[in-house]
Amino acid sequence: MSAPVVALRNVTRRFGSVVANDDVTLEIAPGEIHALVGENGAGKTTAMRVLYGILPPHAGHIEIDGHTVRIARPQDAIRLGLGMVHQHFMLVEPMTVAENLTLGHEPAAAFGAYRAGAAQRAVEELSRRYGLAVDPRARIRTLSVGAQQRVEILKALHHGARVLILDEPTAVLAPQEVDELFRVLRGLAAHGTSIVLITHKLAEVRAIADRVTVMRAGRVVGGGALTSLTHDAIAELMVGRAMAPLVVERTPGVEGVRLEVNDLEVFDARGLAAVRGVSFTVRGGEILGLAGVEGNGQHELIECLAGLVHARGGTVRIDGRDAPRGTRARFAAGLAHVPADRHRRGMIEPMTLAENLILGLERDPALGRGPGLDPAALARHARALLEAYDVRPPDPRARAGALSGGNQQKLVMARELSRNAGVMLVAHPTRGVDLGATAFIHRRLIAARNSGRAVLLVSSELSEILALSDRVMVIFDGRIVFESTARATDERELGHYMTGGAGATA
Amino acid sequence: MSARPRLATALEIAAPIVAVGLALAAGGAFILAAGEDPFAIYALIFRQCFGTGYGLGQTLFKATPLIFTGLAVAIGFRGGLFNIGVEGQLYLGGLAAALAAVALAHTPAPVPLLGALVAAALAGAGWGAIPGVLKARFGAHEVINTIMMNFVAFSLVAFVGRRVFEIATVRTLQIPAAAELPRFDVWLPALRGSPANVALILAVLLALAVGYLMFRTRFGYAIRAVGFNPGAAEYGGIAIGRTQTITLAISGAVAGLGGVNFVLGYKHFFELGFSAGAGFLGIAVALIGRNHPLGVIVAALFFGALSYGGLVINQRVPKELVEMLTALVILFAIAVQQVMERAARSLR
């Protein structure tokens, strides 16, 4: 390997008594795509925040081109040729692409007038050179997530980045957008730009990385050229044990229909038809997987089934009865809902774990007397669930916002499974969740199925859909365009229909 | 809890204390500039506000309405609502208490008092519920509407005053004795001459009730859920608009009850302009008290002392200095709270 363009040497960073980075050494070669992998909380993001000057290290130093440098703030990092694409984009939404890129050093004419033309030409030049298609005059808020990400990358390149750090860039992307991103990254690497990719998806590592570094519990535990490492070897380094293969012990035999959806029509927030006449049933003891590229109506479908949005047409029946209006009534009628966005819907971060575990249950007579809530009953309820679902720390008084992503999701799962509902709506149950928690959540979903519940599973991970589901449907443009047993189909076929391929009625 | 979250909590609790310390230091610089010894002035304020029975009584009297208004603002904040209409709610609560007491003058003993209390709470609740309904029904922002309701309240009182005030005055008739809240100096001679009265006990009981409501009831849970994360509350089946409307009504009721300190406990009539900014100061009280009922009581005592202290030191430095001190506390509270909360977050 050639001399590293950037290196972290023996970096240690603590948060109070927790050592987030322990003697971390990491070298990035010019023009390589380097995957930094590890479970949530392994210290990947901390290492990159140290590198980018957001967090000062407590020990160790950073080298650029072999010289020790001091990076005290992100401006220093940018000046030294580092660029960071955060998980949550740092863009000014009402402004155009060109305005965002030149923010802070706008090309100016006499009297400080903004030279829009010059800015646009600069963006066009840059996007041509690196093959990143973006309209410089488009306003950020009109762009898709994938396009916004390209703007972030362009912004870093515009600032002269030689090393591009991307923090879980694919978490927000649809499958074909991931392909597009990877094409762009390969092009950049070919131009000599080094790429650091923070991820915990091993399939992506395999698809794009040249080298990989694995972190666990704040330490670098291994790595090397991808050609020298098998999938299982990396997974084992990440979790510190051999990964048990997902044991999908399915009790056979499917029970009666528990969720019945007929000709359902739902409008989105802008008043446009998002779900256009969807019909399906889910039986007890069955997981029905709903695959689709984000934005094809699956979000509106779930929100409507959960009672959050009223249907414009069609019927929903739960256990043979017409589903009542409103969320609370639907919970009572036997519905549980693991929402797609746990931060916006699924939990209340400043509240305690005990309080989060009673969201939607706060009127349960068992939790207090009359209008009062009994703190002891809340704590008992919480302790039992936190233990059963292995939420760490199992402290009912800890705040939900302090948990890692995996533990937050286990918290939501614990609450929803504790409703003992016959029908479960489960959306993206393992998004942003580490491998250990993912396996746990998968086992719980299978167990729920085996106990006779009907599960509607929405996920953007086709491997997850195929591994868990008994039957699979594809939603495209608000309609169900494909249906099959999970065994009789594969990722390629699903991907074909998800993207509106032939055979689909668009 | 492990050590770090505990430290984070300690930081959050320390924030208002640090803010007050910094404000006193900055205020000291101004006192110095005015040619006085800041330590001597602060010592004088402290002695006069807490060192004599009369002074203590004055401080308690000034703090009493601030407990009500601070609680009212805190209830709103907990529910994610900024109730700036506390001043108007307090004002109308006072008027309603006086009118009800006068109207019930010929009823037997507890009726005039209870009637006056209920009227105060209802007037404040009604005035608070209007912006609540406007928000729930039409999405109109409560900050704008609660401010506007203040002006409407002031004008409304001036308007109806022509009919209900005593001729050639700006006050109502005297309330009957049966509606009066007794002064403390009836039982505690040490407080002689000060107007501190039973309204303070009412305020403290109300603070406990608000704490119970917020942290120990199903509805309080709903209020806080809506305040923290409306999306999650909606997901859990909580009716957001209804919860917000009731939150503002409760907030208004507490503010309205604050009017009884002056009307039933001190002057025994309603007087034009009696609220004198106690409602607006409630925002600062809630801020320094971190929207916690006990914090509100402590903060109200502090601001009550400052407001009486301003009168005490008027001889040596302009009393505007103390008003400036109030402003400095608010300024530092906002700044320090930001810094400390960020630090606390990074610890969690």
SS3 A7: strand
Which chain B residues contact residue A41 at CB under 8 A?
A: none
Does position A368 have pLDDT exceeding 50, yes or no?
A: yes
Instruction: Look at B237 and A402 and tell me if their CB atoms are within 8 Å.
Output: no
Put simply, whether A351 touches B (Cβ < 8 Å) is yes
Put simply, whether A344 touches B (Cβ < 8 Å) is yes
Q: With cut-offs at 50, 70 and 90, classify the pLDDT of residue B5.
A: low
Distance from CA of B206 to the nearest CA of A (A): 17
Instruction: Look at A371 and B219 and tell me if their CB atoms are within 8 Å.
Output: yes
> What element of type H or E holds B263?
none
Whole-number percent of chain A with pLDDT over 70? 94
Is A272 or A211 the better-scoring residue by pLDDT?
A211
Q: What is the pLDDT of residue A504?
A: 43
Put simply, whether A348 touches B (Cβ < 8 Å) is yes
Distance in angstroms (rounded) separating the CA atoms of residues A214 and A26: 10
DSSP A480: E
Is B224 or A169 the better-scoring residue by pLDDT?
B224
Length of chain B: 348
User: In this structure, what is the dihedral angle of CA atoms A251, A256, A262, A268, given to the nearest 10 degrees?
Assistant: -40
Distance in angstroms (rounded) separating the CA atoms of residues B150 and B278: 13
pLDDT tens-digit map of A231-288: 778 877 876 654 445 555 666 667 899 999 999 999 987 788 899 999 999 999 999 9
Instruction: For CATH 3.40.50.300, list the domain ranges present in chain A.
Output: 6-239, 257-347+404-498
Q: What is the pLDDT of residue A236?
A: 77
Instruction: Look at B218 and A359 and tell me if their CB atoms are within 8 Å.
Output: no
CATH code for residues A257-347+404-498: 3.40.50.300
Q: What is the pLDDT of residue A243?
A: 46
Mean pLDDT for B260-276 is 95
Cα angle B271-B274-B280, degrees, rounded to a multiple of 5: 155
Q: What is the 3-state secondary structure (H, E, C) of A174-242?
A: CHHHHHHHHHHHHHHHHCCCEEEEEECCHHHHHHHCCEEEEEECCEEEEEEEHHHCCHHHHHHHHHCCC
Instruction: Look at A15 and B347 and tell me if their CB atoms are within 8 Å.
Output: yes
Which chain A residues contact residue B241 at CB under 8 A?
A: none
Q: What is the pLDDT of residue B347?
A: 63
Token code pair at residue A479: 């309609």
Which chain B residues contact residue A327 at CB under 8 A?
A: 234-237
pTM, rounded to two decimals? 0.79
pLDDT tens-digit map of A439-477: 899 999 999 999 999 999 998 778 889 889 999 999 988
**Fold of domain A6-239:** Rossmann fold (3.40.50)
* Nearest CB to A363; choose among B2, B5, B218: B218
Those residues whose C-beta lies under 8 Å from the C-beta of residue A242, and which sit 6 or more positions away, are A232, A236
ipTM: 0.89
Nearest to A207 by CA among A371, A398, A33, A397: A33
Closest alpha carbon within chain B to A354 = B221
> What residues of chain A, 268 to 307, have a C-beta less than 8 Å from chain B?
306-307
